[in-house]
Structure 1
Amino acid sequence: MFDFTNVLQLVQSFEMLQLLGVNRVVVYKTSSSPETQRILDYYTNKGFVEVIPWSLSRFLNVSRGWLPEHGPGDIHYLGQIPALSDCVYRYMYQSRYVALHDMDELILPQSVNSWSELLPLLENRYGADKCYMFENNVFPITVTLRPPNSQPLPPQGCCPGWHNVSGVNILAHLYHEPIISETHYSNFKIIVNPRAVFIPTVHGLRGSQKGCSWVDRNIARMYHTRAPRQTQLTPDKLIYDGRLLSYSTRLTPNVNTVFTESFKTQEILCFENCFAPPAE
């Protein structure tokens, strides 16, 4: 977490992870906005989030780019790889599984509703004590479209208080870019038994006991709500995926509760599913 201000997506991600059955989230924090810190304090007090101060930039010239030409420095890309290594070894004997991914990424099962149900399926199909790699599906935040005609239309007046919170609403971006080799093979993330890991890296592992397996996208895949990767695409080339909406009836009131309790916002009301608003 470096100069982080995306509060709405952060809360949505934390609440989604709880719905998926995650017991703890560990945030490696360098800097953030006061609003973000308030959210971190809220979840820390609940016992769900643990914040690890990650102050490498006080001692090193930390690169802000993943390539040297994008941001030269003494250590690669905000010290991300050391953070991943620290996480794996710190929780190696505390956690059955560890997921290594970013704030704007969610690994969603397709036939079951939680990681608790998903992981036994993966063990049976791909073997236990391996790392499981999930295909990256990019949902560009520059495009907001209503669901197709066959899907439910968005209810009126849903979650007006969210407009007053900085950040991205993941429920408003339900169309992903076509899968290409770059996003599939280079930008995936993993869930792994940490005791089988020797060396993690940003995407996957450099060394492990039993290697990694690609997870079939029809079993589970990663939802990456972010700036577009394929910037040349027009909206009609994007592909609708409403899987997130199946969680919305539980997600939206949980998110509203967080904002009410942490920010004392006024009358954030949402009693139905939150869907993407219609295109302007």
Structure 2
Amino acid sequence: MDARALRRAEEASSKHWALSRTFFILLIVILIMYIIYIYIAQKDVYKYKPIYPHWKKKQPAFTACGVPVQNDPIIKVNNLKTYVVSSYIEHREEVKMIRTITIMFRSENAEYHCLLCCNGQNVSVPATYDIHSDHFGFEYGTADVTCQVPKKCTKPTHVAITSQTSKEDRSLQDIHAFQPVRNQEERKDFPYNFTVCISVMYDYDNVLELVQAMEMFKILGVQKVAIYRTNCHPDTQKVLDYYVRQNFVEIIPWNLKPYITVSRGWKKLVSPGELHYFGQIPALNDCVYRYMYQSHYVALQDLDELILPMKSKKWTELLPELERQYNQMGGFEFENHYFPLSIKDPRPEYSPDSWKKVMGVNILEHITRISNDPTQFNNFKVIVNPRLLFKVTVHGLLQSIKGSVRVDPHIARMYHMRSIPNEIVAKRSKKQDTHLRDYADSLIPAVSKVLEEALGNY
């Protein structure tokens, strides 16, 4: 090969190498840009990370006495149709007891035992059970399983309910999990003055009313809201997470569907199922015990209900007056008054334009109250001293130390915003009641602030 041909070959090789290098560099740049794009896209998709516990990555199980520990409801009792909600030390008996709130198949006759984790050892003791009377004819009902704590067990930290004794070989392998025994100390001073129990949240997308309820609770003097949550809309979850970050809301996971067919109502013939209304009653009982030594008072109500004083603006002023007037009863009953959602008074000063972008009811637009039918049972909700209670139901107390009393509606009443059948609305007399708007000056800016911080450009 002559020099000219050799030079041409070298130039061609050089051009080929330069082209290959350029292509390789371009490929690297494209790959880097693609990685950056994926990162930004994923970052945007997951910009909102809910803090609801069941959405977290599952953590390694903690064990006690060689058994996994589960903090949340629901735990199945080995081969029975019984499900454990939570366990508590019962300080009001002559001997030290553990009370476990359960959901029980009423026709199943079983012998129960408490397996206690005491001082690093498993101790089995016999238990008794008591099914609450307010099962509304459903197959399952709320029940208490109680067992006496042996004297040698100075501090039972965890418990499992079983139908087997610890002497049987299969006892430990049949236990799904231990759960912590709460209320270890009988406290006299409480971190909260008022706690509200909401049971249960399911298919919930009423975002605006949720924020309004939370901010009204704050205005009334509430420091904690416990919500037994089954499921909700993503925007609802964002609001819940906002209040969890504030330490204002505690979310208790509440999903019975994998175990029991729950009813969506309280009448079995109308709402088929095996358990009344999503398991509302065991949730209420759990909430009373959960906050028994955390809160001076506990209110048992729904998110579309507000107990409002008539002569003052806060529960902190109302409850001491009720204690004096009614001689420190176990619970105070507040008469229900309906405000139909079909009747609205949308005035601009009570209906900010920005709120109209948010799903849900604006409670300030509903000021028409319909009369109650004196011939029918009139619902009520209660604010209770939890340390005076043993069993609660949807409307009132099943077992208590001092009972409850109906509060004069001229002192305080419950404002209940909900859909009412038109034929009922037509039959009842109607009256304008604007008392809720007395809170508007504080409520409106508070709600707008939360919507902005929790939902952003809503």
TM class, shorter-length: 0.7 to 0.9
Report deviation, 1:93.
0.8
Q: Which residue number corresponds to residue 403 of structure 2? A: 211
Residues 158 and 178 (structure 1 numbering): CA distance in 2 closer, same or farther, change over 3 Å? Answer: closer
Distance (whole Å) between structure 2 residues aligned to residue 69 and residue 173 of structure 1:
32
Residues 235 and 9 (structure 1 numbering): CA distance in 2 closer, same or farther, change over 3 Å? Answer: farther
Preserved contact between residue 382 and residue 395 of structure 2 (Cα < 8 Å):
yes
From 238, 242, 253, the counterpart of 2:445: 253
Query: What secondary structure does 1:78 align onto?
Result: helix
List alignment gaps of at least 5 residues for structure 1: 147-153, 267-280
Superposition TM-score, scaled by structure 2 size: 0.54
Superposition TM-score, scaled by structure 1 size: 0.88
Distance (whole Å) between structure 2 residues aligned to residue 101 and residue 158 of structure 1:
25
Matched, 1:222 2:411: no
From 172, 184, 194, the counterpart of 2:365: 172
Distance (whole Å) between structure 1 residues aligned to residue 414 and residue 398 of structure 2:
21
Report deviation, 1:250.
0.4
Query: What secondary structure does 1:58 align onto?
Result: coil
Counterparts of 1:229-248 in structure 2, within 5 Å, are 231-234=423-426, 237-248=429-440
Query: What secondary structure does 1:232 align onto?
Result: helix
Report deviation, 1:8.
0.6
Residues 127 and 231 (structure 1 numbering): CA distance in 2 closer, same or farther, change over 3 Å? Answer: farther
Residues 231 and 112 (structure 1 numbering): CA distance in 2 closer, same or farther, change over 3 Å? Answer: same
Query: What secondary structure does 1:125 align onto?
Result: helix
Counterparts of 1:47-196 in structure 2, within 5 Å, are 47-145=247-345, 154-155=347-348, 158-181=351-374, 185-196=377-388
Kindly report the root-mean-square deviation, in angstroms, between the aligned alpha carbons of the 2 structures.
1.8
Distance (whole Å) between structure 2 residues aligned to residue 208 and residue 111 of structure 1:
29
Report deviation, 1:78.
0.6
| Aligned-pair identity (%) | 47
AA at the equivalent of 1:67 = K
Q: Which residue number corresponds to residue 35 of structure 1? A: 235
Residues 182 and 7 (structure 1 numbering): CA distance in 2 closer, same or farther, change over 3 Å? Answer: farther
Preserved contact between residue 221 and residue 314 of structure 2 (Cα < 8 Å):
yes
Preserved contact between residue 370 and residue 428 of structure 2 (Cα < 8 Å):
no
* Count of aligned pairs: 258
Residues 236 and 207 (structure 1 numbering): CA distance in 2 closer, same or farther, change over 3 Å? Answer: closer
Q: Which runs of 4+ in 1 moved over 3 A?
A: 154-158, 229-232, 234-237
Shifted more, 75-84 versus 156-165: the winner is 156-165
Residues 264 and 205 (structure 1 numbering): CA distance in 2 closer, same or farther, change over 3 Å? Answer: same
AA at the equivalent of 1:200 = V
Q: Quick check: which one's strand share is greater? A: 2
Report deviation, 1:265.
2.3
Distance (whole Å) between structure 1 residues aligned to residue 375 and residue 262 of structure 2:
26
Distance (whole Å) between structure 2 residues aligned to residue 114 and residue 12 of structure 1:
16
List alignment gaps of at least 5 residues for structure 2: 1-200
Distance (whole Å) between structure 1 residues aligned to residue 428 and residue 405 of structure 2:
32
Structure whose alpha-carbon radius of gyration is higher: 2
Report deviation, 1:233.
2.7
Report deviation, 1:18.
0.2
Distance (whole Å) between structure 2 residues aligned to residue 182 and residue 36 of structure 1:
38
**Per-residue Cα deviation, 1:226-273 (whole angstroms, up to 9, x for no partner):** 01167333399321111111100000000000011011126xxxxxxx
